[in-house]
Amino acid sequence: MTVSIHPAVDGGVKKGSDSFAGGTLVCACQDRPVKVAIKGQIAYNHACGCTKCWKPTGATFSVVAVAPVGNVTVLENGDKLKVVDPSALIQRYACIGCGVHMHGPVEREHAFQGLSFVHPERFQEEGWAEPGFAAFVSSIIESGTDPSEMDGVRGRLKELGLEPYDCLSPGLMDYMATWVAKKNGVLK
Amino acid sequence: MTVSIHPAVDGGVKKGSDSFAGGTLVCACQDRPVKVAIKGQIAYNHACGCTKCWKPTGATFSVVAVAPVGNVTVLENGDKLKVVDPSALIQRYACIGCGVHMHGPVEREHAFQGLSFVHPERFQEEGWAEPGFAAFVSSIIESGTDPSEMDGVRGRLKELGLEPYDCLSPGLMDYMATWVAKKNGVLK
């Protein structure tokens, strides 16, 4: 039995295109879909097992990336967007019709301030940068995955080239620690 | 240049003994040292890069393990012990003379409740279970390690057989997630 990670990667991770210059994210509503323009390529695309990221029905992981807040523009039907949890670091704007999270800016003082979290599978266009790792893998247990399945899940992620981590990737963890060290005056 | 992790592992990780039945932790004071008895072998010994664990002078990582709270007994000079940060999950009892953390029970409702965190290098005896991985590696940046040194640090940890993680090991992360899932009724 093959472990299902997410429909966008289960058949193999599809390489992005160097010429991708952005596109339009569209929610799942038939009527008055929310549309959000993203300028330029996305960064740090990854599979995420956390309980807060939006996932399509049946998916164990979300696929989520970032774009600078300045590159994100709500184009249509923005009146349908509402922040899921205003107390969270990521202000996830979800469509009140279909539930898809359309963009998630970090507004608080944080290493990720100024970035917005988006789900590239909602692009109308192809060519967005492929996911490069898997984050918060152990957290899928909190959504109901049986702990006995975890070896299979981590094995499948490695097979797909999505190195599994139970927090973020080492590069991003170092980036956050560096931000904290500078803020505290430990590093110049 | 060899990266220094901790004096107890820099020369190679020394295997523990199956017959180790516990021992006595002693602080660094010449006068009236604090002594704490630990019954039985320690578990989950690991190198830890977090900023809260006690480290000997010059060490980049701490070496820390757990024992059930019921196996921990303060034997002598317990009047010198004081909790470093009463708001922290781990109630780290430090010697007010030398600063060594002698035991750290988890009293709050948590996956680790009932365990106490101890530093096995303070055992008078040899034979304690060797460290098996490295946790919170990226956090050493917050204590002043330059981000450019991280590749060398992670490489050295792997060389020593201490797989580096930026949170806890997958087994412990799954254990914590399982505890949360059961608490929330997601798992039975």
| Rounded average pLDDT over B131-135 | 98
Verify whether the Cβ–Cβ distance B177 to A144 is below 8 Å. Answer: no
Give yes or no for residue B181 having a pLDDT over 60: yes
A172-186 tens-digit pLDDT? 999 999 999 999 999
B7-52 tens-digit pLDDT? 999 999 999 999 999 999 999 999 999 999 999 999 999 999 999 9
Please tell me the predicted confidence (pLDDT) of residue A126.
97
B159-173 tens-digit pLDDT? 999 999 999 999 999
pLDDT band at A1 (very low <50, low <70, confident <90, very high): low
Cα–Cα distance measured from residue A93 to residue A96, given in angstroms and rounded to the nearest whole number = 9
Q: What is the DSSP string of A40-61?
A: S--EEEEEE--SSS---TT-SS
Of B141, B154, B177, the CB nearest to A138: B177
Q: Is the dihedral of CA A178, A184, A185, A186 positive or negative?
A: negative
ipTM: 0.94
Residue of A nearest to B142 (CA): A181
Instruction: Show me where the domains of chain A are located.
Output: 22-183
Range A22-183: architecture per CATH: Alpha-Beta Complex (3.90)
Residues of chain A in contact with residue B147, where contact means CB-CB under 8 angstroms, are: 174, 177-178, 187
A144-171 tens-digit pLDDT? 999 999 999 999 999 999 999 999 999 9
The C-alpha of B157 sits at a distance from chain A's nearest C-alpha, in angstroms, of 14
Q: Is B27 annotated as a binding residue?
A: yes
Q: What is the arrangement of strands in the sheet containing A93-95, beginning at the earlier edge strand? A: A81-83, A93-95, A101-105, A115-118, A62-68, A43-48, A133-135, A163-164
Is A48 tagged catalytic? yes
